[in-house]
Amino acid sequence: MTVRVAPLKLVRRPRRLRRSAALRQLVSETVIEPHRLVPPLFVVSGAGETQPIASLPGVDRLSVDRLLPRLEHLLKLGIRAALLFGVVAPGTKSACAATAFDPEGPVPRALRAARSHFGDDLVLITDVCLCAYTDHGHCGLLAETPWGVQVDNDSSLEPLARMALAHARAGADLVAPSDMMDGRVAAIRRALDSGGFEGVGILSYAVKYASAFYGPFRAASASAPKGASLLQDRTSYQLDPRNAREGLLEAALDEAEGADVLMVKPALPYLDILARLRARSGLPLAAYQVSGEYAMLKAAAAVGALDEPAAVREALLSIRRAGTDLIFSYYAAEVIEKGWLM
Ligand code: PBG
């Protein structure tokens, strides 16, 4: 028996507008301009250093002299900002993270050089966190507490504020605290203001989850946490992936403490948080496509499991569609160079 299906008579047929590339572009809702992309860059001391990072194919640790031509290239691509991470020798790390606020450290040196080279053409953003400078790899200082040795919130605020101030003095436009200590945005704001840097902004990693997707980054900056029990990972200070409301609460607190830009991190697994935050805050938002998100795409592409340009474009568009203004991504330069966003 044949079944007859009556032809559909729809008033609205969305497919009409998908027939050609020109029609699709005409009604497209989301676009990523180069100035929304911010590449994270790793800076080391010394000269002539271009150190490939095994866990992040295509990303290098650069000494300041190698960083400047890289920044020049990024500007030519239409990129307007860079996020700087310092990587220091293991022998210089300590329990008190003194090298984090050393004015001769790789990040302050890079800031001074980039500022004198590029003036105000390039927005210089710096990661503010102790984990790459402490010998135990935690984002704050350790202290004896009633529950044993823990990452101590309040005593960590002073070195974080000192680090932010060192970056402001060296020329940072925005400091980006990523440590997840409570009250650090207020502490940094106070330190910047009393140091005469009212004009330096705070881009807070406000909603930062305790994520497995940071793995390749920790290999790049040798900042994996070390310790037993509560100190073996960052779950005692970064957000629990099970919690959404708590993420929104973190964002509201950072906004109240004076953050100028709020970030959600990682990006793709947390688009629900991003979209909800977009509806709640009037501040500019940022999302960080983190090292593991990048490495995952690179690894899948390397074995031919994914069409890299299409997959990367889709991931970045999804992050932008969810409501972010800025996207921090290790793909920033590559997608523009290769025209993957077209
Ligand atoms: C420092 C910091 C981390 C990242 C950015 N800032 C690592 C961490 O929290 O362990 C991760 C960035 C990435 O994975 O690309 N706290």
129 Cβ inside 6 Å of ligand 1: yes
Nearest-CA residue for atom 5 of ligand 1? 178
Q: Indicate the top mutation candidate among 93, 128, 217 to test ligand 1's pocket, ranked by most ligand atoms within 8 A of CB.
A: 217
Average pLDDT for residues 266-289, to the nearest whole number? Answer: 98
Structure tokens that stand for 74 in this block: 């990024």
* pLDDT, tens only, 182-201: 999 999 999 999 999 999 99
Catalytic residue flag (residue 265): yes
pLDDT at 9: 77
Band (pLDDT 50/70/90 cuts) for residue 221 is confident
217 Cβ inside 6 Å of ligand 1: yes
Q: How many residues in the chain?
A: 342
d(CA 63, CA 49): 5
pTM over 0.85: yes
66 Cα–ligand 1 center, Å: 23
156 Cβ inside 6 Å of ligand 1: no
d(CA 196, CA 193): 5
Distance of CA 254 to the CA centre of its chain: 16
CB contact at 8 A, 251 and 207: yes
Nearest-CA residue for atom 6 of ligand 1? 178
Three-state secondary structure string covering 9-76: CCCCCHHHHHCCHHHHHHCCCCCCCHHHEECEEEEECCCCCEEECCCCCCCEEEEHHHHHHHHHHHHH
pLDDT at 176: 98
188 Cβ inside 6 Å of ligand 1: no
Nearest-CA residue for atom 2 of ligand 1? 178
Q: Which of ligand 1's atoms lies nearest the C-alpha of 40?
A: 15
What does the DSSP 8-state code read for residue 329? E
316 Cβ inside 6 Å of ligand 1: no
65 Cα–ligand 1 center, Å: 24
Which residues, including other chains, have CB under 8 Å from residue 229's CB and lie 6 or more apart?
148
211 Cα–ligand 1 center, Å: 9
pLDDT at 6: 81
Find tokens 């977009």 and name the residue: 278
Q: Which of ligand 1's atoms lies nearest the C-alpha of 208?
A: 9
* pLDDT, tens only, 95-153: 999 999 999 999 999 999 999 999 999 999 999 999 999 999 999 999 998 889 999 99
Q: Which of ligand 1's atoms lies nearest the C-alpha of 180?
A: 16
Q: How many Cβ atoms from other residues are within 10 Å of residue 141's Cβ? A: 23
How far is CA 43 from each of CA 170, 298, 342, rounded to the nearest angstrom? 15, 22, 31
pLDDT at 1: 67
CB contact at 8 A, 128 and 178: yes
d(CA 138, CA 251): 22
Q: Which of ligand 1's atoms lies nearest the C-alpha of 139?
A: 16
d(CA 195, CA 33): 35
291 Cβ inside 6 Å of ligand 1: yes
The residues with which 329 forms a beta bridge, in sequence order, are 289
202 Cα–ligand 1 center, Å: 17
* pLDDT, tens only, 62-80: 999 999 999 999 999 999 9
d(CA 158, CA 165): 10
218 Cβ inside 6 Å of ligand 1: yes
pLDDT(229) > 80: no
Name the percent of the chain lying above pLDDT 90. 90
Choose the catalytic residue: 76, 208, 226, 298.
Answer: 208
331 Cβ inside 6 Å of ligand 1: no
293 Cβ inside 6 Å of ligand 1: no
